[in-house]
Chain A
Amino acid sequence: MTYHMYNREVEAMPREKLRELQSERLCAMVKRVYEKIPMYRARFDSMGLRPEDIRTIDDIAKLPFTYKQDLRDNYPYGLFAVPMEEVVRIHASSGTTGKQTVVGYTANDMKLWGEVMARTIGAGGVTKVDIGHISYGYGLFTGGLGGGLGSETIGCATIPASTGNTRRQVTILQDFKPTFILATPSYALTIAEFLEQNGLTSDELCLKAGFFGAEPWTESMRKEIEKRLNLKAYDIYGLSEVIGPGVAYECECQHGLHVNEDHFYLEIIDPETGEQLPDGTEGEIVFTCMTKEALPLVRYRTRDVGMCMPGECECGRSFVRMVKPAGRTDDMLIIRGVNVFPSQIESVLMDLDGIAPYYQMIVERDGNLDKLTVLVELTEETFTDEVRKLEAMSQKVTEAIHSVLGIAAKVKLVEPKSIERFEGKAKRVIDKRTQVNF
């Protein structure tokens, strides 16, 4: 089979040529950040590093890291490499802790964003005859406008549906007949649920592909979405500090996410030592934005946990593949000394028959002991009027969580839709513990 590519010339570029391009772009970028960004100049100087020391892409390991804290310390515009007159767009992250992270784009950055997002959607076979439904939030969040930009770059009629009002969204899906959708995976399931509750089926929709990201999701959730919405579900990855959506994307093989490596250089490092790790080893994902003008970050520590896949992809792309991040190092909870990712709880629930994938983890401290409570939403299918069956169900979940995570959790069945959903992004974790300092 021939695999769809938006920009075959670049996406399937020979590896050696790609490395040359990366070397060239990295050297130019290093000079630029040294000249334009005081924080980098100071950092290079203190390490005795001169821009000329960077000659090829392999020299990247000599460069200092950039941390999220650096963006906060230079809030809002301190890390911009261009004067404000060249900036055409500003986005900001939700900033659940501390200050918002502010990112900027020049006109060229916007073109670059459109290109990488077009590759992302194009990899799913989308062409300009398609109609795109963008269910990511339009606003400061990069998802909506970034997703829409990619769709428009391909030349698709683009519906900026944004988030919320599922009834209206379903009417649009039925009447405007979009052929692909961009949304969070949990919102895709909300749509599926709405269809089922209102006696509708996916036959009423024309969707053939969906591009889901902005929150971690599992393989079983992918199967669920594909079955219930009758489409092919692609995982997409991005973060606003790098560009937003469009950093890495799945091809039709759905086996790893190809990194747009001509623009974003990927490294996997040991978060403790900072050393680069070989392919096939899990570590922290680090990106260098080689071509961005407004906010060119050097070796940005994403805190996402991932891995570079060894070997080449069947689709013919030369871009390296990364394994879908298991979770953010931020998302990772340490409960009674055990590392727990919310996505693990999700896998447990998806593997149990008749349990809805809507859950919320509440972590509290009771004396010196961490206490984990998992709220699980009940569905009409799973509800029975026999108390012992309901108790057996929560017991089954408790045991499954215990066998997967190795920790005891209290499982509490709650009413459907009682778990807060924020802009389509389900709030998975409530950590009530106060920070422990070591």
Chain B
Amino acid sequence: MLLKQISVFAENRRGAIMDITGVLHEAGVNIRAISIADTTDFGVVRLIVDKRKEALAALRANGMTVKETDVVALAVDDTPGAFHAALKALTDSGIMVEYSYGFVSPMGDGATIILKCDDQEKALGCLTAKGFKLLTADDVKF
């Protein structure tokens, strides 16, 4: 099961990210995970949110450039080598990871890793076959 990630284009200027979070705040959207890819000229803000449709509508209504991307959300133990095991499984199957970001639950019940691979379906199949736990949209709503 792939998860929908929202990406937002942000120019390199003061307040660009705050503009995005401001719109989401107004719309009552909660951010579950965030990662920012930055280049010298612009950035891409990647978000996993609880209310995806509301977030998309609000961002578009504010003239922002958004795109949805399928990503893999993986639940791993918060122990040394857990993420490595998942990456090894993917690499052994010839899958390349394009980007990844993660967060640890403060409740001590493991970590969540977001993965974007060159072949998402294959990645999904590989991780499922190896018994990794994948998260769905319902899991990120909490």
Q: Which residues of A contact B (CB under 8 A)?
A: 378-380, 383-387, 390-391, 394, 412-418
A415, B11: Cβ atoms closer than 8 Å:
yes
Residue on A nearest B16 in the bound complex, by CB: A415
B7 part of interface (Cβ distance < 8 Å): yes
B69 part of interface (Cβ distance < 8 Å): yes
Q: Could you list 14 A-B pairs, sorted by A, with CB under 8 Å?
A: A378-B65, A383-B9, A383-B65, A383-B66, A384-B7, A385-B44, A385-B67, A386-B98, A387-B44, A412-B41, A413-B9, A413-B42, A414-B11, A415-B65
Q: Which residues of B contact A390 (CB under 8 A)?
A: 39, 42, 44
Q: Please report the C-alpha to C-alpha distance between residue A413 and residue B41 in the assembled complex, in whole angstroms.
A: 8
Q: Which residues of B contact A394 (CB under 8 A)?
A: 41
Q: Please report the C-alpha to C-alpha distance between residue A385 and residue B64 in the assembled complex, in whole angstroms.
A: 13
Q: Please report the C-alpha to C-alpha distance between residue A379 and residue B65 in the assembled complex, in whole angstroms.
A: 7
Q: Please report the C-alpha to C-alpha distance between residue A76 and residue B41 in the assembled complex, in whole angstroms.
A: 46
B63 part of interface (Cβ distance < 8 Å): yes
Q: Please report the C-alpha to C-alpha distance between residue A378 and residue B64 in the assembled complex, in whole angstroms.
A: 10
Per-residue contact bits, chain B 34-74, to A (CB 8 Å; 1 contact, 0 not): 00010101101010000000000000100111110100000
Known: A390-B44, A418-B11. A385 touches B63 (CB 8 A): no
Q: Which residues of B contact A413 (CB under 8 A)?
A: 9, 41-42
- Residue total for B at the interface (Cβ-Cβ under 8 A): 20
Q: Which residues of B contact A417 (CB under 8 A)?
A: 63
A385, B65: Cβ atoms closer than 8 Å:
no
For the A-B complex, the count of residue pairs with Cβ-Cβ distances under 8 Å equals 47
Q: Which residues of A contact B11 (CB under 8 A)?
A: 414-415, 418
Decide if the interface of chain B is mainly helix, strand, loop or mixed: strand
Q: Which residues of B contact A (CB under 8 A)?
A: 5, 7, 9-11, 37, 39, 41-42, 44, 46, 60, 63-67, 69, 98, 116
Query: Residue among A383, A385, A391 with the most chain B CB within 10 A?
Result: A385
B42, A385: Cβ atoms closer than 8 Å:
no
Query: Residue among A379, A391, A413, A415 with the most chain B CB within 10 A?
Result: A415
Q: Which residues of A contact B44 (CB under 8 A)?
A: 385, 387, 390
Q: Which residues of B contact A418 (CB under 8 A)?
A: 11
Known: A391-B39, A413-B41, A418-B11. A380 touches B67 (CB 8 A): yes
Q: Which residues of A contact B63 (CB under 8 A)?
A: 415-417
Q: Please report the C-alpha to C-alpha distance between residue A414 and residue B65 in the assembled complex, in whole angstroms.
A: 10
Please give the distance in Å from B57's CB to the nearest CB on chain A.
Answer: 13
Please give the distance in Å from B66's CB to the nearest CB on chain A.
Answer: 7
Q: Please report the C-alpha to C-alpha distance between residue A417 and residue B64 in the assembled complex, in whole angstroms.
A: 9
A387, B39: Cβ atoms closer than 8 Å:
yes
Q: Which residues of A contact B67 (CB under 8 A)?
A: 380, 383-385
Please give the distance in Å from A396's CB to the nearest CB on chain B.
Answer: 15
Q: Please report the C-alpha to C-alpha distance between residue A159 and residue B39 in the assembled complex, in whole angstroms.
A: 48
Q: Which residues of B contact A383 (CB under 8 A)?
A: 7, 9, 65-67
Please give the distance in Å from A190's CB to the nearest CB on chain B.
Answer: 13
Residue on A nearest B7 in the bound complex, by CB: A385
Residue on B nearest A197 in the bound complex, by CB: B60
Known: A390-B44, A415-B9, A415-B64. A385 touches B39 (CB 8 A): no
A380, B98: Cβ atoms closer than 8 Å:
no
A378, B9: Cβ atoms closer than 8 Å:
yes
A385, B46: Cβ atoms closer than 8 Å:
yes
Please give the distance in Å from B69's CB to the nearest CB on chain A.
Answer: 5
Q: Please report the C-alpha to C-alpha distance between residue A417 and residue B37 in the assembled complex, in whole angstroms.
A: 22
Residue on B nearest A379 in the bound complex, by CB: B65
Give 8 closest A-B pairs by Cβ, nearest first: A385-B7, A383-B65, A387-B37, A385-B69, A383-B67, A412-B41, A385-B44, A383-B9
Q: Please report the C-alpha to C-alpha distance between residue A415 and residue B67 in the assembled complex, in whole angstroms.
A: 13
Q: Which residues of B contact A414 (CB under 8 A)?
A: 11
Q: Please report the C-alpha to C-alpha distance between residue A378 and residue B44 in the assembled complex, in whole angstroms.
A: 13
Q: Which residues of B contact A384 (CB under 8 A)?
A: 7, 67
Q: Please report the C-alpha to C-alpha distance between residue A178 and residue B64 in the assembled complex, in whole angstroms.
A: 32
Q: Please report the C-alpha to C-alpha distance between residue A140 and residue B116 in the assembled complex, in whole angstroms.
A: 56
